[in-house]
Amino acid sequence: MPNLSININKIATLRNSRGGNNPDLVKVALDAEQFGAEGITVHPRPDERHIRYQDVFDLKKVIQTEFNIEGNPKEQKFVELVMANTPAQVTLVPDAEGQLTSNHGWDTIKHQSYLKDIIAEFKAAGIRVSIFVDPSEKMVEAAKTTGTDRVELYTEAYASGYHEDKAHAIKPYIAAAKMADQLNLGINAGHDLDLHNLQYFSQNIPSLLEVSIGHALISDSLYFGLENTIQMYLRQLK
């Protein structure tokens, strides 16, 4: 059964919209763990529009499950933040500054040399590394040469095509996952996974180790409550 890591960026967005500390980001993370989450994910960005750098330090002190920090390592402050907090996992995402949300994976051929260097730096600090990739066999194959431990399959295309033709939508992900398996790369996945499409994805990617879900899960919790929502997502992964 894949682990469920909950991205709490949207909780930080809500907090920041009014100032103060309501909702309390740290308490939400601790509650999520108590309710069954097997990891907590944050994606700090340079403008700190949701997760603030201080949040990462505060969360590191209390997280009992896996702590996953996502971001673009070309931002030196991000690298320093990760090194100062040594999470269980760092997920490298090629976001541009000011980007609304992640919308593509690494070109692991074009950026291979750079990725090798930065991944080696994180691994030397004892941090597991995952890199965000599109569902492309050649990108997964080139990812292996970077030294990464895992790839995170960017699932927006799957989610967009799921309702029209789920078998067609999942096809490139199955191929990419088979390539990762052959290369002994761990497989994570994330972006737009929700209660409708998660089970089918998990069933068709049997070697899936972890999903990172934020926006849909937090939105669902407005209707179902956080504890119940987390249990609903966990049931989709069984």
pLDDT score, position 105: 84
From the candidates 33, 43, 66, 210, give the one annotated as an active-site residue. Answer: 43
CA pair distance 145, 12, nearest whole angstrom: 36
Q: What is the mean pLDDT of residues 26-42?
A: 98
CA pair distance 126, 83, nearest whole angstrom: 10
- Going from the C-alpha of 66 to that of each of 3, 88, 197, the distances in angstroms are 10, 6, 24
Q: What is the mean pLDDT of residues 211-225?
A: 98
Place 15 in a pLDDT band, splitting at 50, 70 and 90. Answer: very high
Q: What is the mean pLDDT of residues 5-33?
A: 97
Q: What is the mean pLDDT of residues 97-104?
A: 58
Residue 172 · residue 135 · CB < 8 Å: yes
Active site residue 70: yes
pLDDT score, position 173: 98
203-212 per-position pLDDT tens digit: 999 999 999 9
Query: Which class for 12: exposed (0-12), middle (13-18), buried (19 or more C-beta within 10 A)?
Result: buried
pLDDT score, position 64: 97
From the candidates 33, 38, 66, 70, give the one annotated as an active-site residue. Answer: 70
Place 103 in a pLDDT band, splitting at 50, 70 and 90. Answer: low
Q: What is the mean pLDDT of residues 205-222?
A: 97
Residue 102 has pLDDT above 90, yes or no: no
Q: What is the mean pLDDT of residues 36-49?
A: 95
From the candidates 33, 50, 191, 210, give the one annotated as an active-site residue. Answer: 191
pLDDT score, position 96: 62
Q: What is the mean pLDDT of residues 117-139?
A: 97
Q: Which of 225, 213, 216 is nearest to 37 (CA)?
A: 213
- What the chain holds in terms of domains, given with CATH numbers, is 3-237 (3.20.20.70)
169-205 per-position pLDDT tens digit: 999 999 999 999 999 999 999 999 999 999 999 999 9
pLDDT score, position 104: 72
